[in-house]
């Protein structure tokens, strides 16, 4: 199915090769787990397999690449899509139609399927992924996890022989991840060839036939997951499977003044309630996790915190003052928000400029603090590169560092571990804990319970737009009915 010999690739205007002398082959029907640290080349390889590279991104390619007997370098992506289905790291860029149903139908329609076949495929894939209730919704109103399932449905509806998934678990809640595992097992058993690039290797180690590990663009391991997982995987930015929960941090005995507060906030979108009377406060020095299912309202809650959204009822207060009439630019001096898709926040020509842009606008530029953040987030080697050409994990680290560079009093993070390897997650956790000790108020929306357990001594659980619990992690984990209702994992893996 795939033959790759001495493959190398360099992005336009980039200095170093992103892929270096890759040689491997994949047989039809194999399930391959593609692993490696952020920036190791996983997404680049995925985009090469369906022709997005070079047809969209350009760049220099050498070596041999054959996919189902075709050369993606000369076969345009719309022809490769008949054989190769690709789910990108950013599902929002694959959800473009006015409704979910039309989004799923787009691919089969482009293949020339008749109307009855298209309707049947839309229904079947929606049922597989349990998104029938979303068919009439506009994709842009969905959560990141819901968009992920919609984008996957659009790919599956084309019935590709080779399915390439780039970080498919990144934005899914625990129940969604379990559903995806079942689906991948069914596809494997049906003979579909699968290439899945993923940091959460614990989700796939028992399903995959084979594991390929990339390190700085080179293939450093190729074997069964069991064989590779017994080696020194930490050196490649990977983590062991099913590690124990670390002890949660102890809450401060005397918390500071409230920095952010949501008071009976209600918000609806297109007539559908998203937040229903939410009340939540975060004090200086607190790190609070917001947990809940895809679509529970976590991102909407955070966007109210910095004024991107305004409550339709109730109030949001920052430093004791309601934000109703305060402009977002003014609120940015106090509250920093890192969105679920950090690429939308990055605009400067280089990472160096990106780190300095916000602080300069706020008249708070501290070169020493920016340099420290760059070093802590592993950005020193990326400072002269355009942020738009970085991997999703690297972009997320840049966005978080850029917001912290402005020294806000409160920090809102939406899925900060998505696309991050184990080392990057640990660095971020330690840096945020340090910032909390220095008085920063932190609110984190995440599906990564182990990471939240190690950072946040307080969890707020959202269920259908309402706060169903606001308590220490142990109290939340002791309520199985709440875990089920909020689609949270009971076994939460490693931090």
Name the residue with higher pLDDT: 14 or 3: 3
Q: Alpha-carbon torsion 313, 316, 321, 324, what sign?
A: negative
pLDDT value of position 179 = 86
How many residues does the structure list for the chain?
495
pLDDT value of position 241 = 67
**Average pLDDT, integer, range 213-242:** 86
Strand order across the beta sheet in which 313-318 lies = 272-283, 258-269, 313-318, 321-322
**Average pLDDT, integer, range 454-463:** 96
Residue 454 clears pLDDT 60, i.e. is over it: yes
The winner for highest mean pLDDT among 18-27, 145-154, 329-338 is 18-27
Counting Cα atoms < 13 Å in the Cβ hemisphere of 99 gives 11
CA distance 173 to 226: 26
Residue 213 clears pLDDT 80, i.e. is over it: yes
Residues 407-419 have pLDDT tens digits of 999 999 999 998 8
Rounded to 10 deg, the angle between the 367-376 and 392-405 helix axes is 150
Residue 68 clears pLDDT 60, i.e. is over it: yes
Residue 389 CA to its chain's centroid (Å)? 17
**Average pLDDT, integer, range 459-468:** 96
CA distance 306 to 354: 20
Counting Cα atoms < 13 Å in the Cβ hemisphere of 226 gives 3
Q: Which helix H or strand E contains 144, and what residues bound it?
A: helix 144-156
Specify the range with the lowest mean pLDDT, choosing from 229-243, 334-348, 410-424. Answer: 229-243
Rounded to 10 deg, the angle between the 351-361 and 367-376 helix axes is 140
Name the residue with higher pLDDT: 244 or 74: 74
Domains in the chain, please, with CATH? 2-236 (3.40.50.300), 258-485 (3.40.50.300)
**Average pLDDT, integer, range 35-53:** 93
Percent of the chain with pLDDT over 90: 69
Using only the alpha carbons of the chain, give its radius of gyration.
Answer: 22
Beta strands in 68-203 (DSSP E): 84-87, 162-166, 193-197
Global confidence as pTM = 0.86
pLDDT value of position 492 = 41
CA distance 422 to 71: 34
């Amino acid at each position: 199915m795939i033959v790759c010999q001495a493959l190398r690739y360099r992005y336009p205007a980039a200095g170093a090769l992103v892929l270096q002398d890759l040689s491997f082959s994949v047989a039809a029907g194999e399930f391959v787990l593609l692993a490696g640290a952020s920036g190791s080349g996983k997404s680049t390889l995925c985009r090469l397999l369906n022709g997005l590279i070079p047809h969209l991104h350009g760049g220099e390619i050498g070596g041999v690449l054959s996919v189902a007997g075709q050369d993606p370098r000369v076969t345009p992506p719309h022809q490769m899509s008949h054989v190769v289905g690709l789910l990108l790291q950013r599902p929002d860029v694959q959800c473009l139609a006015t409704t979910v149903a039309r989004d799923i139908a787009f691919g089969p329609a482009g293949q020339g399927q008749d109307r009855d076949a298209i309707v049947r495929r839309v229904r079947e894939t929606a049922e597989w992924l349990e998104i029938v209730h979303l068919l009439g919704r506009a994709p842009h109103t969905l959560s990141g996890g819901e968009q992920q399932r919609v984008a996957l449905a659009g790919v599956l509806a084309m019935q590709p022989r080779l399915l390439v998934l780039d970080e498919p678990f990144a934005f899914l809640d625990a129940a969604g991840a379990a559903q995806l595992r079942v689906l991948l097992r069914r596809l494997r058993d049906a003979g579909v060839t699968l290439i899945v690039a993923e940091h959460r290797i614990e989700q796939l180690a028992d399903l995959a036939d084979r594991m390929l590990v990339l390190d700085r663009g080179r293939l450093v391991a190729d074997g069964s997951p069991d064989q590779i997982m017994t080696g020194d995987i930490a050196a490649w930015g990977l983590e062991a499977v099913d590690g124990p929960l670390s002890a949660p941090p102890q809450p401060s005995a005397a918390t500071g003044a409230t920095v952010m507060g949501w008071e009976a906030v209600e918000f609806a979108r297109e007539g559908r309630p998203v937040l229903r009377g939410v009340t939540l406060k975060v004090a200086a020095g607190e790190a609070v996790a917001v947990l809940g299912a895809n679509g529970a309202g976590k991102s909407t809650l955070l966007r109210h915190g910095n004024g991107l959204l305004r409550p339709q009822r109730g109030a949001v207060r920052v430093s004791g003052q309601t934000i109703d009439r305060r402009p977002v630019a003014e609120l940015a001096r106090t509250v920093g928000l890192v969105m679920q898709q950090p690429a939308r926040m990055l605009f400067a020509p280089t990472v160096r400029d990106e780190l300095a842009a916000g602080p300069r606008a706020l008249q708070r530029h501290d070169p020493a603090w920016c340099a420290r953040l760059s070093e802590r987030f592993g950005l020193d080697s990326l400072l002269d590169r355009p942020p738009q050409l970085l991997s999703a994990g690297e972009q997320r680290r840049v966005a978080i560092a850029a917001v912290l560079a402005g020294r806000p009093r409160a920090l809102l993070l939406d899925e900060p571990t998505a696309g991050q390897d184990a080392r990057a997650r640990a660095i971020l956790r330690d840096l945020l804990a340090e910032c909390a000790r220095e008085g920063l108020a932190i609110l984190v929306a995440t599906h990564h319970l182990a990471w939240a357990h190690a950072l946040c001594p307080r969890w707020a659980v959202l269920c259908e737009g309402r706060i169903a619990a606001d308590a220490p992690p142990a109290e939340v984990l002791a309520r199985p009915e709440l875990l089920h209702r909020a689609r949270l994992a009971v076994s939460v893996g490693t931090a």
